[in-house]
Amino acid sequence: MIAAHRQEIEKLRQQLEPLENGTVQTEHRQVGILWIDITAEQIALLKDGIAQYEASIARIERDNAYSSPS
């Protein structure tokens, strides 16, 4: 499971990099008559996803450390 989480983190980082360095912008969303750039929202969602996977890995590793025979 940890390996799968690390693969997902890598995918999210690959999506995040071009958004953060400005080489890619996400699509715009229409709010009323205005179109707004949702790049910042996408960046926040990707960072949150990375943090969740990293926290999950830490929990799994911690649980494995406690359940491992000494």
For 24-44, write each residue's pLDDT tens digit: 888 788 888 888 889 999 999
Q: Tell me which residue has tokens 């229409």.
A: 30
Strand, coil or helix: what is 34? Answer: strand
Q: Is residue 70 part of a domain?
A: no
Q: Is residue 69 part of a domain?
A: no
Residue ranges, the chain, pLDDT below 50: none
In the chain, the number of structural domains is 1
Q: Is residue 20 part of a domain?
A: yes
Q: Which two tokens stand for residue 28?
A: 């715009």
Q: Is residue 67 part of a domain?
A: no
Instruction: Kindly report the pTM of this predicted structure.
Output: 0.83
Instruction: Name the residue range of residue 43's domain.
Output: 2-62
